[in-house]
Amino acid sequence: MVAQTFSGSIREAHAAARAEVNEISDWDAWIDGRGYSSDEQLETTDPVVGEPITTIPRCDARDVDRAVDAAWEAYETQWAETTPRDRSKLLFEWTEKLRDHVDELALLECVDTGKPRSQARGEVEGAIDTIEYYASICRAEDGRQITTGDDLHLYTRKEPYGVVGQILPWNFPIWAAAWKLGPALAAGNAAVLKPSADCPLTAIRIAELSEGVFPDGVLNIATGTGSEVGAAITDHEDVRKLSFTGSVSVGTNVMKAAADNVTPVTLELGGKSPFLVFPDADLGRAVNAVADGIFYSTGEICDAFSRALVHEEIRDEFVDRFVDAAESYVLGDPLDEETTMGPLTSEAQYETVTDYIELGKEESATLLTGGDPPENEELRDGWFIEPTVFGDVENDMRIAQEEIFGPVQTINTFSDYDEAIKLANDTQFGLAAGVATERTSIAHNAAADLNAGLVYVNEYGPILPEAPYGGFKASGIGKDLGTEVLEHYQRTKSVYVNLSEPTL
């Protein structure tokens, strides 16, 4: 049975935490450098106890118009005139303010998403590091000169789009905000960003902490639903670039809407990532990597290692060790430092995950551990589910093909290298994959043969801003992170200068 924390006062602790949250801000949207309210409100919910945290504005298309207008005003009157050196300085100034509020931001992320506090703090620090990375590299921006004949000077210059629209997922609110805002602002754009209605607090707060750093209107946060705010951003003719992270179905709609205005898009749409465990693997490292890759953040991870493909010779030992690892997680109050797994972020996601667990049983997969709510009655009001492991899984089962987005691991086997690669690639997704082996040749061959945008060898993570992040196939288009993402937020212009002698 999974270990659980018994604080005896979870409800009281979260009431106090929610009160602290509401002392930090009024939790308005952020448009044109100030808090922005609306006539209608949305309620956000504490996933640990199912109680309201606060309310946020339910913006609509008219509010998005105001945000886009403010962004263009800031861009055309001030931001477009900044140099990479200017933007670098301001981004560093912003990160200094964010770093002064790490504990506050970690609390917000913890209460808003249900992440254990240690994970929330690590993600806050990762977000700041991401913004610092773009503050550093944007000063290296340059065009290039193209060698031609003596009578022609040909060069390129990089220019921002102007105003970009960005839509965040609910699973990594502050990190995802940094992934999008860092490069977009570094590249010289103004931004209109929509956080998830489920977890908007850290995005709002980091925007508030930009006050006095960026010109008013450079960074705007429009809170609300995807059907209202998200659709208004994707349909807006004055939004010149879109970046979306979320589900395949919504991403498809974003792409269709963008096509009407010929707006370029970057899409990161999730995955069903395999982890291949070869017979020579260090099983201790392999088990830890797979467990980290499916149980971190309660499995609500786009690149989660949700499919373990294990060589048949070591299947039994791997399963025994992996079940032990799953059962070692401490399920409990994320405010408690001993907790290693919190709740799912929303009731809707809880229902999705529990439905998939029942589906796995119906598909005749073997439930090896988990699958139930916690025994601790204090946790029954939240959206908790035990770490869950299915064995005897066939690759055509829905639990092996569809993204569950929760702490549900499937295990099936392979007999040789070719079968492992075939099984791994037999999915619509192509975000990430993992390999456990002590042989360099297998690691590099598998990295080449796996149809995925990133490959981990003998570990899960880390995700660093220096490397591009994004998938193949239905997992998306374009990249977040790395230097490549700056190119997605800029246009390249070629300039031909005639140097021939004028005719008199």
CB-neighbour burial class of residue 154 (10 A; exposed 0-12, middle 13-18, buried 19+): middle
CB count within 10 Å of CB 209 equals 18
Closest CA to 192 of 138, 247, 229: 229
CB 481 within 8 A of CB 465: yes
Q: Which of 59, 110, 138, 302 is catalytic?
A: 302
Angle between helices 201-208 and 173-186 (to 10 degrees): 40
Distance CA 408, CA 257 (A): 33
First to last CA, the chain: 92
State the amino acid at position 378 in one-letter form.
E
Q: List 308's β-bridge partners, or say none.
A: 275, 411
110: annotated active-site residue: no
Distance CA 171, CA 297 (A): 8
Closest CA to 48 of 348, 337, 332: 332
Closest CA to 319 of 358, 361, 290: 290
- Alpha carbon dihedral 273, 279, 280, 286, in 10-degree steps, equals 40
Q: How far is CA 52 from the centre of its chain?
A: 24
CB count within 10 Å of CB 118 equals 14
> Whose structure tokens read 């490959």?
455
Distance CA 293, CA 385 (A): 17
CB 339 within 8 A of CB 13: no
CB 391 within 8 A of CB 371: no
CB count within 10 Å of CB 21 equals 22
Closest CA to 446 of 485, 420, 484, 482: 420
- Sign, CA dihedral 125-226-305-300, equals positive
CB 244 within 8 A of CB 449: no
Q: Which of 123, 132, 268, 386 is catalytic?
A: 268
Task: Enumerate the H helices of 221-328 as residue ranges.
Answer: 231-235, 248-260, 283-295, 315-327
CB count within 10 Å of CB 391 equals 21
Phi and psi (nearest 5°) for 490? -140, 155
Which two three-digit tokens encode residue 298? Answer: 């309660």
199: annotated active-site residue: no
Distance CA 184, CA 115 (A): 27
Catalytic residues: 268, 302
